[in-house]
Chain A
Amino acid sequence: MDRKLIPQGTAVLGLDLRTFSYLDAPEPVLRDIHLEVQPGSLTVISGHSGSGKSTLGAILAGLLPRHSMDQLAGTLSVDGSLVEFSDSSSPRIDIARWSQHVGLLPQDAGHYLSGIRGTVAEELAFSLENAGTPREQMHLKVTALAQRLRLDHLLQRHPDQLSGGQERLVALAALAISEPEVLVLDEPLAGLDQQATALVSELISLLRAQGTALVILARTHRLWEQEADALWLLDQGTLQRIPDAAQHQIRTETQHQHPAEGAPLMLSMESVRLSYPGASGPAVQDLDLQVSSGECLGLAGPNGSGKTTVLKAIAGLLQPVAGTMSVAGSTGLLLQNSSDQLFERTVLREVSFGIPKKSSLHQCISEVLEQLELESYSHTHPYELPASARRLTALATVLVREPKILLLDEPTEGLDEVGEAKLKEIIAAVLARGGAVILSTHDGKFMDSVAHRVHHMNQ
């Protein structure tokens, strides 16, 4: 930090924010927030998508306000020292030095990885390398952390070859290895399987025991209620204590009828083997799957067990190298990472992409946008959308083609509770019109509420 830090109280991180506005925004995104984080504490901040959780996380991590762009009025204190922001004074924060105290795991964990290292081990050691840590010390730290998180088998793998969940776990480990005093984790459990979730929880307990404070930003606080020292709800730009956890939960139970006996088969896979070009071994072997009209099948299994590969094969992006596969009707795939699916300049252009103006499907565009409550975002760039709206936009690009078989890869990742309710309605509608749905998710509760049966994939 350019500014001289002044010693203050005992909280390891404190924020006293009057207002925060992005450049050229008409209204402040955040206002009247007072937050203090004690060493070893667990603070959970929940809120719907677009409520400003990620913005708050970026402020705590020193990434916002951008110098001479955004407006912050208030004070930020870290490790007993204070930085003041006002309309007339906006000190520039040295991010590298700030991150020695406060580290942030972004919602898209892949962005935390450098992309310029050849193995997971090097990716874990990246911050230590830049800090000039001796090699033997780095090696010991990487090995110990990898063993604790059961990442040993991934250490020599190229970071590009990780599954979504593995990538998040590696990013979290890469963040934790520098041992900052505060870790801000934006949706740390999204896309993680049960084992990885348990490992992350274990790591969080361990870090807390060592005195590291954790701030968790999540769409729901229900997973953290038992352990959290403070539960907050971020609503309308300000923080409120959560008095009764149940109050803020939206009931979205949707009852599905089971598929009729003798319903026609929509998908049949027999002894299917799938492998990626250039890969040393198959990603999926001897897979048998059958899905009927009106049926919702869940794919479960640990990270890296091949769930995404199966969905890509059904969508026609990957041809089986052995076995037989027959698909009756059109397919539509929602990819795990929305950013991979969105490439146009506006939501409307995105959803309309590739649909001829004279096509009957063209009429569906406005219907789908309305159904997913995205009309107000029609002329917004997809990258500027809140995570949940971005996820729904990716879903809209799939639904507009009225697929008979809807394929969903970790569909609840990034969705808030309202978005999740929409998704359940969509699944029910596809099944009701005689289609089929195949989804992979680590969200057991969601899986139980929509899937008629679950196929377990083995690694």
Chain B
Amino acid sequence: MPRTIKLHPFTILAIAVAVITMTTAASLWWLSCAVMALCLLIAGWSGHLKKLAVLSGAMLLPTFLSLLLIHGLISRDQSPAIAQWGPLRVTIHGLEVALSLGLRTAVLVVVGLLCGLLIDRHQLVAAIDLSPVPPQLGYLLAASLFLLPQMAEKQRRIGEAQALRGAGTGNGRAGWFQRVRLRAVPLVLASMQDAQDRAVHLSARGFPAYGAHTRLRTVPDSPVQRVIRWTAAICAVLGPILILLLAAMGGN
């Protein structure tokens, strides 16, 4: 059973943005590795380790391979090659560039995914609704966040209905492709119909609210968290500038 983290969603997001911007600006391999290790520790504590590892792997593996291909194998870099096969040249500098870019991307992906796993989407929508931002933003976010789960549920029901008629029950890759082919069109049509059916009742219930609105759900917050959020926001903006200035001064 995954543990829930009782922090305001904005606090988690602010810390995540600060960490990503400062790590990217610092561009130090050991710092990037340390941040990812910390993310894995937090994921382990909260019970999301397997999910984070699988999702990160699925996104980062192709990223690293493409960076290696561009900067490590077919680089036009003139530095001495450590290996060469015809037009393919592997250089130390090329590998360094690929690794540096890859690690920066990895921090962005791992921290972003961890945020997605730690933040309850209902809490996030409630936090936006309760904040002074325009109510349309909460509506847009709610529509985006809940569209995928609703479509997943709908495709499950279409799959059940088709399975009852003996269709889309094949195994393996061929079965998977057959199911995708059979479910795609009904899923799109049913989703459009459902949106049309619901929209009118959402309007009747006053959604989205254009005036003052409230939420039954409470989002835990505290003065300490507010200080953390402001500090993180300042770090997210000024941190990279400071790091780049220090790096420039060091270089001179």
Contacts and interface: CB of A to CB of B under 8 A. Distances in A.
Contact of A317 (B160, B207, B218): B160
B216 A61 contact: no
Nearest to B186: A343
Given A129-B214, A131-B206, A340 B201 contact: no
A270 interface: no
B166 interface: yes
Contacts of B201: 104, 106, 111-112
Contacts of B158: 340, 343
Interface of B: 120, 122, 125, 129, 142-143, 146, 150, 153, 157-158, 160-167, 186, 189-190, 193-194, 197-198, 200-209, 211-218
A125 B161 contact: no
Given A142-B216, A340-B157, A96 B165 contact: no
B4 to A, nearest CB: 13
B215 to A, nearest CB: 6
B216 A121 contact: yes
A306 B103 CA distance: 51
B160 A130 contact: no
Contact of B160 (A111, A127, A340, A344): A340
Interface in A274-314: 312
A129 B125 CA distance: 13
B45 to A, nearest CB: 22
A163 to B, nearest CB: 15
A132 B214 CA distance: 5
B197 A122 contact: no
A88 B143 CA distance: 37
**Most chain-A CB neighbours within 10 Å: which of B146, B200, B213, B215?**
B200
Contacts of B143: 116
Contacts of A160: 153
Given A95-B200, A354-B162, A135 B214 contact: yes
A345 B185 CA distance: 10
6 contacts: A95-B204, A99-B206, A116-B142, A129-B129, A130-B209, A401-B166
Smallest CB-CB A-B distances: 8 pairs: A343-B186, A130-B206, A118-B122, A132-B212, A99-B204, A130-B209, A354-B167, A125-B216
B247 to A, nearest CB: 45
A333 interface: yes
A115 B145 CA distance: 11
Contacts of B216: 121-122, 125, 128-129, 135, 138-139, 142
Q: In the complex, which of the residues B120, B160, B165, B211 has the most CB atoms of chain A within 10 Å of its own CB atom?
A: B165
Interface string A32-62: 0000000000000000000000000000011
A122 B216 CA distance: 6
Interface in A154-174: 160, 174
A404 B119 CA distance: 49
Given A130-B207, A142-B216, A343-B186, A115 B150 contact: yes
Most chain B CB neighbours (cut-off 10 Å) among A117, A135, A332, A345: A117
Nearest to B164: A333
A446 interface: no
Interface in A74-119: 95-96, 98-99, 103-104, 106, 108, 111-112, 114-119
B161 A138 contact: no
Interface in A409-430: none
A20 interface: no
